[in-house]
Amino acid sequence: MGGIDLDLIAATAPFLWDGLCTSFQLLLLAMAGGISLGAILAVVRIAGPKPLAALAATYVNGLRSIPLIMVILWFYLLMPLATGRPIGAFTSALVAFTIFEAAYYSEIIRAGIQSVSKQQLAAATASGLSQLQAYRFVVLPQAFRKMTPILLSQSIALFQDTSLVYVVGLRDFMTAVSVTANREGHLVAFYLFAALVYFVLCCTGAQSVQLLKKSMVSQ
Amino acid sequence: MIYHWDWSVPISAPYLGWLMSGLAWTLLVAGAAWVIAFVLGAAIGILRTLPHRGARMIGAVYVTVFRSVPLLLQLFLWYFVVPELLPASVAHWIKRDLPLPEYWTSVIGLGLFTAARIAEQFRAGIQAVGRGQSMAAAASGLTLLQSYRYVLLPVAARYVLPPLTSEFLNVVKNSSLALTIGLLELTGQSRQIEGVTFHGIEAFTAATLIYVALTLTAIAAMRAIERVVAIPGLMARV
């Protein structure tokens, strides 16, 4: 035991690589879905009719008060019941992440929108844009520019969270590592290797966000 | 598919007892992990603001390491890997004699993970007090220790209360990861009820409602604390 057996890891690399690809697929699709849904929720909360705004607020606060594992288990249970046929762990996990992360993204986007000057909205509607157009073409582009670094930081957290699909047995990187580690009987080597991979990926991501932040300030 | 509803499941024996035992474990894990996270997090947050380069480096390395590896993997490292890397006698004690290994592993893992996040809140809080205050403290003859004790920390502690509320809620929610190393906390118990009775919707609803109730209680408690310790004359809305 102890140390990282490189030959063993090389032999199992294709399987681990497939897992990593699944993790990234989940990340990118959940990011796209989560940010889109999050933007809608944020605009509805700020500019929507009262009952809808209250509904969006309940959605966001409700989801933020339950553990992600619980949400993943919920969708793993509900999706086949709702559609009446078996649904893969990937689809149910993707829906769970989209719905869950949208709540967190929407809070970031809401803060971003609120940081845009009110006069921008007034000027846009005065120049004949509808409320919807004003948000779509004037407010949101400015808000998104300001909050891109925070959205990316949240996405690094999301990448780490994808490891939780372990509880429904979806073969992401974490699950692939765990399966291999137990099959080969080398828990120490494989878990240390996985920690190294996550560390390098997340550190690189965080560094890039820092660089982006700096370059945005200097502009 | 046809689903047979039975809302009596989560409130009947033995399942109600399972849920209550799950809730107790959730609170025990979250509570103990919070103590570690708060004490260590405050210490590391302070380290990161000290005028000594070495101290700041140590703090930065800790935060980077513990924030760059998923919590689930950190738990696995503490549970499966660390005992193998320790001296044989210590490893032997952990495997043979440590009572409740799943519990203590969850507490340590969750506590050290959360400490990194709390350290960032404390660092931001202390920096928000401003250089002016710390320079004024130094100029008026306070030692470094005194300037933290009497000037920086009392103000910073109030700044960090709201973010600490969300970190506390995160600890409660993240304690659900303990189920992956075999501790049947609230989420784990609801999944066990699903496995035994096939009434997953009812069991998950019960667990979800309990989490929502915990969140609302924690938020109300923290608001009350914020009101009591608020500094008069500041913008902060309480």
ipTM of the complex: 0.91
Nearest chain B residue (CA) to A70:
B187
**Does A18 map to a domain?**
yes
Digit-coded pLDDT (tens) for A152-181: 999 999 999 999 999 999 999 999 999 999
- Chain B residues contacting A via beta carbons under 8 Å: 1, 3, 64-65, 67-74, 76-77, 80-81, 84-85, 169, 173-177, 179-180, 187, 190-191, 194, 200-201, 204, 207-208, 211-212, 214-216
**Do B77 and A68 lie within an 8 Å CB cutoff?**
no
Which pLDDT value is given to residue B91?
A: 84
**Do B69 and A191 lie within an 8 Å CB cutoff?**
no
B92-100 mean pLDDT: 83
Which pLDDT value is given to residue B9?
A: 85
Question: How many contacts does A have with B, using Cβ atoms within 8 A?
Answer: 105
Nearest chain A residue (CA) to B86:
A2
Give A59 to chain B, closest Cα distance, Å.
12
Digit-coded pLDDT (tens) for B36-49: 999 999 999 999 99
| pTM for the structure as a whole | 0.91
**Does A1 map to a domain?**
no
Give A124 to chain B, closest Cα distance, Å.
31
Dihedral over Cα of A201, A198, B70, A75: its sign: positive
Considering only CB atoms, A2 lies closest to which of B80, B84, B169, namely B84
Domain around A121: 6-218
**Does A143 map to a domain?**
yes
Burial class of A64 by CB neighbour count within 10 A (0 to 12, 13 to 18, 19+): middle
Answer whether A88's CB lies under 8 Å from A126's CB: no
A103 band by pLDDT with thresholds 50, 70 and 90? very high
B232 phi/psi in degrees, rounded to 5: -60, 145
Chain B CB contacts of A65 under 8 Å are 169, 173, 211-212, 214-216
Tokens read off for A65: 């008060």
**Does A33 map to a domain?**
yes
User: Domain containing A181 — which CATH number?
Assistant: 1.10.3720.10
Other Cβ atoms within 10 Å of B91 Cβ, number: 14
Element of type H or E holding B163? helix B161-174
Provide the number of structural domains found in chain A.
Answer: 1
Which pLDDT value is given to residue A62?
A: 93
Q: How far is CA B190 from CA A35, B101, B179, in A?
A: 30, 22, 11
Q: List the domains of chain B with CATH numbers.
A: 29-183 (1.10.3720.10)
